[in-house]
Amino acid sequence: MYLSELRLWNFRKYGNDSFDLEHPHLRVPFAKKINVLVGENDSGKTAIVDAIKLVLKTNALEYIHITDDDFYNGSKHLRIEMTLAEVSDDEATLFQDWDPDKRTIRLILDVTRENGRISPYEVCIGEADDGTGLDPKQKEALKITYLKPLRDAENELTARKNSRISQILLGHELFKQSSDAEHPFIGYFKNANESVEKWFNDAEGENSNKSQIKDVIDKFLQEFVNVDANSSFELAEPNIRNILEKISLKVRDAKNLGLGTLNRLYMAAELLHLNRKGNDLKLCVIEELEAHIHPQAQMKVMKGLSSESHEQFVLTTHSPNITSKLRMEDENNNLIICKGNKVFPMGDAYTMLDKKDYKYLDHFLDVTKSSLFFAKGVILVEGWAEEILIPVLAEKLGIDLTTHEVSIINVGSTAYLHFARVFMRQNEPNMDVKCAVVTDMDVQPDDDWNFNSTFENDKRAKINDEIGQHGNVKVFLAPHWTLEWCLFMSPSIKNILMEAVSEVHTGTEGFKRDENGNFNEESFRDKLSDNLKKRSLDKVAIASILAQKIQENDNFSIDDSDEYIRYLLDAIRFAANKYGGN
């Protein structure tokens, strides 16, 4: 069985004035294997995790309970429901109140408060709206493995009273107390205690161990208590809990380990719970997986989690390294974007992504491109030139893309649809993320430098048909041919562009200045066109120099009437939510 869905009413930020059991304020679908929750701070990721913990509880010794802060906006009634799906016959033996036709279990936590006091509550199970209370065995079988966001791995793995490593081991089948036989560890410990006691009682020699330590203590003890008092040295009372609290967990032969390695060791120990025998729910929730782990290690951990076959994971993260390693093509995985008071799963039942898109994203969704899942606005571009130039133009517009949390995603080709469909939903609501698609027209001029309007209109119609009608996704198409051609035709940028091209292609006739230091625009146009057709123009180098010149030119100003760069300006405004035509 696995957690297939979570439903919330008036829990934390998820709520409103109505309370209808048929319409939860939030519905979160989960996949069978790996579920990654992403979103900015205060987007609701922790609320989702805490709701899971409140119903299922954790294997750790922590007190989890409803507080006043859990009620939405002063409401008096909150509710959490969960569905466990694909319940096997063996698993069902522990749960009488289950749906054998759907093979599901429904869990309910319904809590009210009156006059500032929270009424007594319990987690219930059943298909009825109230259900029946869980018994102790059911509660134990449903406990999850939970790793908190700020993990003090070194402290948790070191021998001490109530250490986390002792709790983990104590919950394992190998350390369950048996009335039939004494656990071998108790025998080991008794032998160790006897050896310790023998050493302190060694009376051989003039300055024996006994005379130097035990006899001195006993002399004072008998004076302080009574003449029959006698001290005894031992490691600890020989019971399983005491013994396990004396155990530390380390990496063999490793010294001075950093937080990253210790954190991974701690995670590995916690995951021991997932290998418990029996019919328990095998669910692990990890908040901020990336804590204290460097980027390459994050990706190794994700690969390790993906290799597990029967366990379910719910992860929260702010790291594009982690999302870049999630195989979205696998229907057992799920990426869930938290925005505002909604969640947006990336499964094919929710987005306009199709199978080929998921395959493409699995291959090409690197760390840089994964930042689109965390952005408030996205600009998809075809290549490096646009990626280099757009931030400078935005700065001249007075729009700081970083402040507006806008990511420029270089798709490296015209394959923008694979990424744009991430923001297209099959049903409302749409994601509150503006996605601007910046692309070339790619219709070449004829020999007289005229552009075939029929070809351009057909190209424009084709692209718009591919995108469809989605208010948060919009195409910004170059008015003619390519970015570089439009920059050359732009009254605002033409002169700076010619300087940049001349500096990069210093030996190319047609790009050189005449004896008076001027460019021949006609010759420049012919050569530029020729190089664009032959793909022999160093676009990246030119864009780098052009961007630098624009940035350093205090007299450069944006001219909104410039039809050749207006598509770039509109794309910036749209993604930053500063666009009047949205």
Number of domains in the chain: 3
Residue at 243 is within a domain: yes
Q: Are residues 419 and 537 in the same domain?
A: yes
Q: Are residues 432 and 550 in the same domain?
A: yes
Which range (46-60, 246-260, 403-417, 513-527) has the least confidence? 246-260
Average pLDDT in the chain: 88
C-alpha dist (Å) from residue 6 to 21, 55, 357, 564: 13, 10, 27, 50
More confident residue, 178 or 412: 412
CA-CA distance, 53 to 47, in Å (whole number)? 10
Q: Are residues 214 and 299 in the same domain?
A: no
pTM of the model: 0.85
Whichever domain contains 141, its CATH number is: 3.40.50.300
CA-CA distance, 43 to 376, in Å (whole number)? 12
Q: Are residues 306 and 194 in the same domain?
A: no
With a cut of 60, say whether residue 582 has pLDDT above it: no
Count of H-run helices and E-run strands, the chain: 22, 17
Closest CA to 549 of 484, 485, 495: 495
Across 179-183, 321-325, 416-420, 526-530, the highest mean pLDDT is recorded for: 526-530
Residue at 122 is within a domain: yes
Report, as an integer, the average pLDDT of 53-61: 88
Which of 311, 339, 367 is at the close of a domain? 339
Q: Which tokens is 46 given?
A: 């922790």
Q: What percent of the chain has pLDDT over 90?
A: 47
pLDDT of residue 70: 94
CA 461 to chain CA centroid, Å, is 37
pLDDT digits (tens, 9 = 90+) for 414-471: 778 888 888 888 888 888 899 999 999 988 888 777 888 899 899 889 888 888 777 8
Contact 91, 15 (CB under 8 A): no
Closest CA to 375 of 296, 472, 268: 472
CA-CA distance, 71 to 55, in Å (whole number)? 15
Residue at 443 is within a domain: yes
Q: Are residues 309 and 187 in the same domain?
A: no
More confident residue, 416 or 240: 240
Q: Which run of H or of E encompasses 571?
A: helix 566-575
Residue at 206 is within a domain: yes
Residue at 261 is within a domain: no
Q: Are residues 459 and 316 in the same domain?
A: no
Closest CA to 37 of 322, 365, 314: 314
Residue at 540 is within a domain: yes
Residue at 434 is within a domain: yes
pLDDT digits (tens, 9 = 90+) for 105-148: 999 999 999 988 999 999 999 877 778 889 888 998 899 988 88
Q: Are residues 213 and 241 in the same domain?
A: yes
With a cut of 60, say whether residue 581 has pLDDT above it: no
Q: Is 507 exposed, middle or buried (0-12, 13-18, 19+ CB in 10 A)?
A: exposed
Domain that holds residue 388: 375-575
Residue at 365 is within a domain: no
Q: Are residues 565 and 483 in the same domain?
A: yes
Q: Are residues 306 and 185 in the same domain?
A: no
pLDDT digits (tens, 9 = 90+) for 506-559: 989 999 998 888 999 999 999 999 999 999 999 999 999 999 999 999 888 888
Report, as an integer, the average pLDDT of 66-80: 94
pLDDT of residue 266: 83
More confident residue, 494 or 340: 494
CA-CA distance, 264 to 249, in Å (whole number)? 12
Q: Are residues 10 and 128 in the same domain?
A: yes
pLDDT of residue 580: 53
Report, as an integer, the average pLDDT of 271-279: 76
List of residues 6+ apart from 581 with CB closer than 8 A: 570, 574
CA-CA distance, 260 to 168, in Å (whole number)? 20
Q: Are residues 229 and 115 in the same domain?
A: no
Q: Are residues 445 and 422 in the same domain?
A: yes
Phi-psi label, residue 223: left if phi above 0, alpha if psi -120 to 50, beta otherwise: alpha
Report, as an integer, the average pLDDT of 316-335: 88
CA-CA distance, 417 to 375, in Å (whole number)? 18
Contact 130, 108 (CB under 8 A): yes
Contact 408, 368 (CB under 8 A): no
With a cut of 60, say whether residue 178 has pLDDT above it: yes
Q: What is the DSSP letter of 11?
A: B
More confident residue, 206 or 580: 206
With a cut of 90, say whether residue 292 has pLDDT above it: no
Report, as an integer, the average pLDDT of 266-271: 84
